[in-house]
Amino acid sequence: MSQLQPFVKNLPFTGSTIFPPFMGNIIASLNAYGVSRSNRFEVLISPPPGLVHPKKSLSETIDRTISTAMGATGLGSLGIPFLTGERINFACEGATFPGKATATKEVQHFGPYRKSPYSQIYADATFTFRIGRDMYEKKYFDLWQALVMDPVTHEFSYYSDFVSDIEVRQLTTQDSSPYGIKLIEAYPMSIAELTLDHSQENTIHRLSVTFAYRKWLPVEIANETSQPTKGTKVSELDIDNPNS
């Protein structure tokens, strides 16, 4: 009950010695089920295949940058955490369970219109990362974004090379996970600016990254989703074909 005191004391009538009947039900429910805390979460980001195994489809400049960062064996200056995404996961300070909506169109057969569903709309997902003194996190997402479109040649990479899955899990105070989702085929769509200011002596860098993805699913059924077609370039995707 002690953990619930901050919540119970804000409920109406709790200062009275005689609670209305519904108040007993509310308190019993809080005692039985507790509350979910927004600061208890974990994010698991897997690096895309193009960072783990750089390909020559990139320009020599970008390919050399990734190879230098990762080393010839993939265990260079960024080290093993680069391959596993471990450091990125620990650096994530803010995340979201993105929303989902049903797209509808009005259909009339007889009488009032009905809203007929025809697709699902997934909101973009934004994450906030703490930046280390070596700017590792900034370089990580810069390289990942370079996989999408080569900033030197302006050519797009293969879709399967730059997309990856991201898991977002709610945690309890005992670190179990009652709920989680997986973002399927995610990649960094937007990397926010980092502000430099001489007057801010005790401010650290935090990087906001917005991810595009195809869809999200509860982690329990996420493995049922199909994987992106290997060898398909972005320019070859049929955006009008819902099965592409």
pLDDT per residue over 59-112, tens digit each?
565 555 655 554 443 334 444 445 567 889 999 999 999 999 999 999 988 889
pLDDT at 224: 63
pLDDT at 244: 45
133: left (phi over 0), alpha (psi -120 to 50) or beta: alpha
pLDDT at 126: 97
* 200 pLDDT tier (thresholds 50, 70, 90): confident
* 35 pLDDT tier (thresholds 50, 70, 90): confident
Retrieve residue 63's tokens. 């390919």
CB 214 within 8 A of CB 184: yes
Greater model confidence, 50 or 129: 129
Nearest Cα to Cα of residue 125 among 105, 158, 102, 100: 100
Interhelix angle 136-148/60-70, nearest 10 degrees = 140
Q: How far apart are CA 215 and CA 16, in angstroms?
A: 49
* 50 pLDDT tier (thresholds 50, 70, 90): confident
pLDDT at 109: 87
- Confirm or reject CATH 2.30.110 for domain 43-236, answering yes or no: yes
Retrieve residue 188's tokens. 């960094």
Q: How far apart are CA 201 and CA 193, in angstroms?
A: 18
CB 83 within 8 A of CB 52: yes
Q: What is the pTM of this model?
A: 0.74
- Range with the lowest mean pLDDT among 80-94, 170-184, 202-216? 80-94
Nearest Cα to Cα of residue 46 among 149, 220, 160, 163: 163
Greater model confidence, 192 or 228: 192
Greater model confidence, 115 or 66: 115
